[in-house]
Chains A and B, each alone.
Chain A
C-alpha cells in the first residue's frame, strides 16, 4: 500500500492553467474519488499522477518519494482507461498478461496470475476470446483484470463505468469497491457522476476549473458543503439556493419569505441553502408556504417544485402525495439544516453546533 501526496501541483497547457495548485494527501489503501464537471481537470490530474502528463510545478510524492521525473512504469501503478484501451488483436488472456514479462515473471507465473485475476473477475470462460467478442461489461472486466494482475499497489481509474448502462454500472460499482478493499489498493477514481463518488469513495475531492472546492468524506461534502458550488454539485436533486438579506426578523428572500438559519454572522447578504429532503410537510411550525408548479410522484417519494425568491426549489417528500399543481402547501425546514453561504459562496459555520447537539441529547 502506498500513499500519494500532491504539493502545490499545477499544470499548464501553453498559457492556460488547467490545474491550479492542488494540495492533497491520498492515504494508503484509500478509495479516493475525484469529481467535478466536464473539463475541470480530473483526467489531467490523474494523468499527472500516472506520469503520462508532465508536471508544470509542484511536487508529486508517491510513498513520500518525489516522483515528478519518474517514468510511468517506475511509479508502480496501474490504470484503467475510459475506453479500456484493450489490444484488439490479442485474446483476453494475452491482454491480461501482456507486459507481465517486465516484472520478471516466468510464463508459468504469468499464466497463474492471469487465471487468478480472471477468476476474481469471472472471466475464466472468456480467456480465449478477442475483445470484440465480448460485451461492454466483460471488456470492462478485462480492463480491471489487466490492472489488478500487475499487483501494483496504486490503481488509477478514469471514468471506467461511463460506457456501461445504468444497471451494469451499479453492479460494477460494488465490484470495484469490493476488489479495492480485498486487494488493499490505493485507488484514485475519476468520475463526473456524483452518485458514483458518494457511494464508492472513502473521501471525495471536488474540483472546479482546476481548483479544489472541497476534500472530505462523502457525507461531509453533503452535509457541510464548503461553498455553493459543492452544494449545487453534490446531491440529486442538488441543494436549493436562494439569495437572502439580513433583516430584524431573520433572513429575507426577495419574495418576502423569511428564514431563520442557525448561523451567527454579521454579513448583510448571503445565500441560503436547503436540501430537497430537508423540506418537510409542516405539522405545527411552518417555515413557508409553497405554491406547487410541478409534482412528480415516484412511488417511494414525491418531488415538489415551487418558486422561492425567483429560483425553482425542489422538495423531496417521502411517500406518495396526492397534490395538484397550483395547490398551496405548508413546508417546514429545521433551522439547523439550513446552510448559509457568504457573498463569495463560502460556507458560514452554524452557531456552536456541538453545544446544540449536546443539548438535544439531554432533552
Chain B
C-alpha cells in the first residue's frame, strides 16, 4: 500500500515537472539577457528584470493587458448575468414550451463556435464595433453551457423556498438576488473563472476584429511581436508571456480557495 502510494506520487511529480517545465523555462529565460539565451543555459547566471521593463517599454504591453482585462471582465459579467437570469427562468418560471426552448439552448452547444464566426463578424462589422471592446465581448455574452450549469444548481434549491417567498409577496427579482444567487456562490464562481480564462486566452476572434495597436488583446499582441524586431529577443518575449500568465494563475488560485470553501460549506449544510 505504502509502495503504491510512493509510486503514485513519483508519477504525479514527474508529470508535474513535464507540465511545468515550459513555464519554468520561460520564466528562467525571461530573467536572462540575449547572449545567455543563445548559450542555452537552463538557469540565468545573473537574473535581472530588465526584460520585463523592456516588455513594457518596447511594446504597448500595458495597453494589451488592459484591453484583455476589460474584455475578459466584460464577458465574465455578461455571461454570469445572462446565464443566471436564463437559468432562473428555466427553473422558477412557468411558461409554454419551456422544455423545447431549453433543448434548443442545449443544441447550440453542439454548434462549434467557428461555424458562427463569419455571421458574427458581419454583424459586428455592420455595428461598427471592429476594434472596440464591444466587438470583442458582446458576441460571447450568451452561453448555453453557463445556463446549463446554473440551471442544474438552481434546481437543487427547494421549490418551497420560492413558494414561501411568493406567499410573503417577495418579488421574483428579490428572490433571485437575495436567495438564489447567495446559495449558488460555488457554481457562480466556477462559471466566472471559466468565463474569464476562456476569454483571456481567446485568440481567433480578437485576431479577426482588431487591427490596431490600441484595440489588441495580449494574445494577439504576443503574436504581433513575431513580426517586430523584438522577436529575436527571446528574453523580452518570455517576459511578456509570463506577464500574461500571471493573471490567470492569480485567478485560479483565488478561485480555488473560494471553490474549496464553497464546497465544504455545502457539505455540512
The chain A residues found within 8 Å of chain B, CB to CB, are 50-52, 71-73, 77-79, 81-83, 85, 87-89, 98-99, 102-103, 132, 146, 150
User: Does B269 contact A88, Cβ atoms closer than 8 Å?
Assistant: yes
User: Does A72 contact B166, Cβ atoms closer than 8 Å?
Assistant: yes
The 9 A-B residue pairs with the shortest CB-CB distance, nearest first, are A99-B168, A73-B169, A85-B160, A102-B169, A85-B164, A81-B160, A72-B167, A89-B182, A72-B166
Chain B residues near A98: list those with CB within 8 A. Answer: 165, 168, 170, 178
Known: A73-B166, A99-B168. 5 other contacts (CB 8 A): A79-B167, A89-B182, A89-B183, A98-B168, A99-B169
Determine whether B213 belongs to the interface, using a CB cutoff of 8 Å to chain A: no
**Interface set, chain B 150-203, CB cutoff 8 A to A:** 158, 160-161, 163-170, 178-179, 182-183
Interface centre among A71, A82, A99, A102 (most CB of B within 10 A): A99
Say how far B167's CB is from chain A's closest CB, in angstroms: 5
User: Does A102 contact B164, Cβ atoms closer than 8 Å?
Assistant: no
CA of A146 to CA of B169 in the docked complex: distance in angstroms? 13
Determine whether B268 belongs to the interface, using a CB cutoff of 8 Å to chain A: yes
Chain B residues near A50: list those with CB within 8 A. Answer: 163, 167
Label chain B's interface by main secondary structure. helix
Interface centre among A50, A88, A102 (most CB of B within 10 A): A88
| Contact A83 to B160, CB < 8 A, known contacts A78-B167, A98-B178, A132-B269 | yes
Chain A residues near B179: list those with CB within 8 A. Answer: 87, 89
- Chain A residue, CB-CB nearest to B163: A52
Chain A residues near B160: list those with CB within 8 A. Answer: 81-83, 85
| 27 CB < 8 A contacts A-B | A50-B163, A52-B163, A52-B167, A72-B166, A72-B169, A73-B166, A73-B169, A78-B167, A78-B168, A79-B163, A81-B164, A82-B160, A83-B160, A85-B158, A85-B161, A85-B163, A85-B164, A87-B179, A89-B179, A89-B182, A89-B183, A98-B165, A99-B165, A99-B169, A102-B170, A132-B268, A132-B269
Interface centre among B163, B179, B268 (most CB of A within 10 A): B163
CA of A71 to CA of B131 in the docked complex: distance in angstroms? 50
User: Does A150 contact B163, Cβ atoms closer than 8 Å?
Assistant: no
Chain B residues near A52: list those with CB within 8 A. Answer: 163, 166-167
CA of A64 to CA of B155 in the docked complex: distance in angstroms? 38
User: Does A79 contact B164, Cβ atoms closer than 8 Å?
Assistant: yes
Chain B residues near A103: list those with CB within 8 A. Answer: 169
CA of A50 to CA of B168 in the docked complex: distance in angstroms? 11
Chain B residues near A102: list those with CB within 8 A. Answer: 168-170
Chain A residues near B158: list those with CB within 8 A. Answer: 83, 85
Say how far A54's CB is from chain B's closest CB, in angstroms: 10
**Interface set, chain B 82-126, CB cutoff 8 A to A:** none
